Structure 1
Amino acid sequence: MHPETVLLLVLAGVAVVVAARWLGDRTGLPSAALLTVAGLVYGLLPGPNLALDPEFVLAVLLPPLLYSAALDSSLIAIRDNLRTVVGLSVLLVLVTAMVVGVGFALWVPGATLAAGVALGAAVAPPDPVAALAVGRRVGLPPRLVTLIQGEGLLNDATALTLLTVAVAAATGDGFSTWSALGQFALSAAGGVLAGLAVAHGIRPLRRLRRDPLSSNAISLATPFAAYLLAESVHVSGVLAVVVAGLVIGHNAPYWTSGATRLQTDAVWRLVDFLLEGVVFLLIGNQLPAVIGGLGEYAPSTVVVAAAVTVGGVLLVRPLWLWLTEHAPQALHLRLGAGPEAEDGDPRTVPRQLSGREITVLSWAGTRGVITLAAVFTLPLSTDAGEPFPARDLLLFCAFLAVLVTLVGQGATFAPLVRRLGLRADAADGARLRNQARVAAVEAGLTRLDELQAEQHDHVDDAAIESVRGALRTRLDRYRRRLEVLSEAEGEIPMSPRYEAALRVRRAVIDAEREELLRWRDLGRLPDEGLRTLERELDHQENLLPSRPA
């Protein structure tokens, strides 16, 4: 493809991604669904299309997306809900793959059990990007966010490992359950070890990571290092990336500077925004490729295969959630309790999911690019030189599952959550944050008392009193806020006085910024000085909350 054509496609892609974000913010529709539809429309137009290279997706696009999601997740929250997360990310993937595989073997002419399981493995893992974006916007409860996040982080490893086993069976000597389980266990354990090795391997670099630019370079390279290490020893690269991200995200606050965290967070948000946009555009753009090979199949065969695939994807998930949540308590694995957990600790056995929560989790199973990347890795032929069983039909069914869930479920997820009235208690979250603020300020006041008692020569009493006064002012503000929040339920109470104060502070910052620009335009302040002072004002503005919390 000509360089100018590539550049034009890149610029057009960025424009569409930005436009979808803008349209999604104003209509409430998920940008993932809008981008997929945009890719579909472009795929039907004359002109060059971008073919999905599965190796490129798995090795280049997937590691940074998974790593960023892992950094943004909570290792403690996933541990506390480990039973449900493991059930969704491992067992549900295996069950879905087997249901689709058996359905293909029974009702789809020309398909084999191994080929059906390969398709089932590809369509089994949900991609939580669309559901999480919508869920956070509508205020989904934290536990459901954790479950969706944890499932999305871990299920890809299960699916890709099972896919490898199923493809080997379809092209070789057949499907062996025990061989599949052994290979899965080995791949998973190796992936965890590889991820831990990378997470601990970068710890000696923590002095270097205090420099924001060096830290960003290391952070961007880490997911690829984890993936390459794991793949080089033939274990799960996906799981290695996830484990590395969870461990590093949990431990990084101990040894990274504030400037590093601010810049790293901004960099990863930009990476997520662009890569997710590219991924969803690529999904829609594959329509010509998956439809082109359907001519050799009877319409009835296509309909049956589509019904088996989409039915398995949509029906197995809610049935699994209901059965596992209503199983006898004795059958529940007591996973998720830390070594310090005692009787009565709510983390020992998480509470049962309600019917509304099961409904929301069932509708959060949107499929994404990992499904298409996985199914596009199916070989063209078997070891005997025969065509891979029903390969073009498998591609179409996988694409249809992605389209139905990503556009159908993605576009209706927010209305469903609102209709069920399943929202996080915003006041409770604000109350907890203010309690933490009070505790942090009190710790700072205690440290000031210790410094004053130690009577260091370089510690000035006037400086201590100045800092103490500022801390006490903040402490009084947080305590007053707690008094208001202590009686609130559901929504955060709005304070006209507080909002007025925020408007005044923003107006003052705007006036300061305008005066600095006037000085620059008059030639009294060089641009370098302007940028330094603007950063100071930007940090002050960034500290102002959009809502009282």
Structure 2
Amino acid sequence: MDGESTVLLVLATVVVIVVIHRISERTGLPAAALKTLVGIGYAFIPGPHMVLDPHLILTVVIPPLLYSAALDSSLVAIRRNLGTVISLSVLLVLVSALAVGVSFDLLVPGATLAVGVALGAAIAPPDPVAALAVGRRVGLPPRLLTLIQGEGLLNDATALTLLSVAVAAATSGSFSPGATALQFVLASVGGVAVGLLVATAVRGIRRLWQDPLTLNAVSLVTPFGAYLLGEALHVSGVLAVVVAGLVIGHDTPRRVSGASRLQVDAVWRLVDFLLEGFVFLLIGMQLPAVVAGLGQYDISTVVLASLLTVGVVLLVRPLWLVLTLLLPQSLHTRLGRADGDTADRPEDSRDRAVERFSGRELVVLSWAGTRGVISLAAISTLPMTTESGAPFPLRDLLLFCTYLVVLVTLVGQGLTFAPLVRALGLHANAADQARLQNRARAEAAQAGLEQLDELEREDHDPVDRQMINALRNQLESRLRKYRQRLDVLANSSDGVPFNPHYEAGVRAQRAVLDAERERLVHLRDVGQLPDSGLRVLEREIDHQEGLLPTPARR
């Protein structure tokens, strides 16, 4: 494509992303599935098309998406659920890849174990973008969101490392379990080390500069720096990006000013919005190219390979979840009864976290395994030939099977995920979340009052005392408001009770801010306020408006 065609295609892509996002908001349908279907439709229209470049995807697209997701994650929550996260992101990936490899080796003509494991490694890691978007919209419990997000952050590193090992075995014809395990461990440990190193460097930069624009620039280049450094050292660049993002995100509240956090958050929300939209449209556009390479295979081979691939992906995940989460629950319950119900002891909190998984939660976690662009990018990195110069076995068939899995899970599971969650009646306890937040607000206000007591003891200036008293009145007013909310929430078992006075107050505050904004714009229009002054004052109003909650719907 020439430069003009490229610009037109980019502009059209942005327009499509915005329109689909609007449709998704109004209909409740998952945007990821809609974009994929639109991409498939566009693929059959004559004109310029985008071709998936695996190295470009892995180097330019995946690092910022993973980094943004890591910044938005909770290191504390992932650490609290680390056993389950590792089970899903490491062990389940290995089991899934091995299951695909064994089934291909036994049943698909021309396949070997290494070839099957390469396919399994590509399709094993779920892409949580679609599931998380739907899960947040329907109000999934925070722990399930943490598990889905934590799995999606760490499983890519496992899959890509395993893929490189399987490809090396398939092209060379040799396989050493010991060497494979050692390579996997070194890549993982090295990736963690590189991520910590990058996070430490960013922390040092934050100490030197607090300028929002500088920190934005540093934030944007961090995922690429972590990934490229990891790959240059022959360790997991993906894991380096994730670890750097988790540590930096955890450290941000202490190291970054409020203005910088607002800007960085806004920038990454835009990056996510555009990159995710581009990725899902790109997935749909690959269908003609993927199907074109199937002519060399028998129909029976294509059908068998397709059924095996999709079947293993859809069956292994729920079986693994049942074996690792449900059976330990039954075993723990029996042990608890035999030992005087030790499940109620504080020291057994980790076991009680496992025990709280219900059948409905297992169903939701099972159905959250949507695959995405990293699977296509990974399988597209397969070499065309082996070391002996022979064509890589079944390469086009592996590409088609991967695409089919992505399509089935992204569209099939993506479109049915929200109805499934609603049918199961699984949602977060809104009252518990509101109580937690208001209790934290009350604690913060109390800390502010205690700090004012310290300032009052240290300073005896009358002017300062007036300022301290004014601040004290504000904090005490906020503290009373939070405690009143806690009293109301104490009598609510699930939903947040509708408070007409509170909602009326929010609407009144919004109306006042709108009136202030309109008056400032009028002053600008009649020449009594320069545009630079308008922007400063309007920003102040925007920040006040950002503190207001969204009015609840009755």
TM-score (norm 1): 0.96
Superposed CA offset, 1:483-512 (max 9, x none):
101111221111000000011111111111
Q: Tell me the CA shift for residue 175 of structure 1.
A: 2.8
Q: Map 1:229-248 onto structure 2 (within 5 A).
A: 229-248=229-248
Distance 1:282 1:537 in 2: 40
375-384 or 342-351, larger mean C-alpha shift: 342-351
**8 Å CA contact retained: 2:9, 2:48:** no
Q: Tell me the CA shift for residue 107 of structure 1.
A: 1.3
Distance 1:435 1:151 in 2: 30
**8 Å CA contact retained: 2:325, 2:354:** no
Aligned twin of 1:3:
3
Identity of aligned residues (%): 65
Query: Which letter does structure 2 place at the counterpart of 1:164?
Result: S
Aligned with residue 540 of structure 2, among 536, 545, 548:
536
Q: Map 1:262-281 onto structure 2 (within 5 A).
A: 262-281=262-281
Could you say what the CA RMSD is over the residues aligned between the two structures, in angstroms?
1.6
Q: Map 1:157-306 onto structure 2 (within 5 A).
A: 157-306=157-306
Distance 2:551 2:511 in 1: 16
Aligned twin of 2:525:
521
Q: Tell me the CA shift for residue 208 of structure 1.
A: 4.0
Aligned twin of 2:513:
509
3-state DSSP class of the match of 1:207? helix
Distance 2:390 2:165 in 1: 19
Superposed CA offset, 1:467-488 (max 9, x none):
1011111111111111101111
Distance 2:434 2:366 in 1: 28
Distance 2:13 2:245 in 1: 28
3-state DSSP class of the match of 1:367? coil
Superposed CA offset, 1:433-489 (max 9, x none):
000000100110011011101125596111001110111111111111111011112
Distance 1:501 1:376 in 2: 56
3-state DSSP class of the match of 1:460? helix
Distance 2:543 2:424 in 1: 39
Query: Which letter does structure 1 place at the counterpart of 2:54?
Result: P
Aligned twin of 2:110:
110
Q: Tell me the CA shift for residue 343 of structure 1.
A: 4.5
Aligned with residue 424 of structure 1, among 407, 425, 428:
428
Aligned twin of 1:453:
457
Distance 1:540 1:387 in 2: 63
Q: Tell me the CA shift for residue 348 of structure 1.
A: 6.3
Aligned twin of 1:361:
365
Aligned twin of 1:393:
397
Deviation >6 Å, runs of 4+: 329-332
CA separation of 1:430 and 1:209: change in aligned 2, threshold 3 A? farther
Aligned twin of 1:408:
412
Query: Which letter does structure 2 place at the counterpart of 1:346?
Result: S
| Alignment pair present for 1:77 and 2:77 | yes
In terms of fraction of residues, the more helix-rich structure is 2
Query: Which letter does structure 1 place at the counterpart of 2:317?
Result: R
**8 Å CA contact retained: 1:80, 1:350:** no
3-state DSSP class of the match of 1:210? coil
Superposed CA offset, 1:404-453 (max 9, x none):
00000001100000000110001100000000000100110011011101
Number of equivalences: 540
**8 Å CA contact retained: 1:196, 1:247:** yes
Aligned twin of 1:314:
314
Q: Tell me the CA shift for residue 344 of structure 1.
A: 2.7
Aligned twin of 2:353:
350
Unaligned runs of 5+ in 1: 333-341
Distance 2:360 2:491 in 1: 26
Query: Which letter does structure 1 place at the counterpart of 2:475?
Result: L
| Alignment pair present for 1:25 and 2:25 | yes
Q: Tell me the CA shift for residue 105 of structure 1.
A: 1.1
Distance 2:257 2:185 in 1: 38
TM-score (norm 2): 0.95
| Alignment pair present for 1:483 and 2:487 | yes
3-state DSSP class of the match of 1:493? coil
Distance 2:90 2:462 in 1: 58
Aligned twin of 1:64:
64
Superposed CA offset, 1:338-375 (max 9, x none):
xxxx9536246623321111100000000000000000
Q: Tell me the CA shift for residue 547 of structure 1.
A: 4.2
**8 Å CA contact retained: 1:80, 1:348:** no
Distance 1:548 1:361 in 2: 29
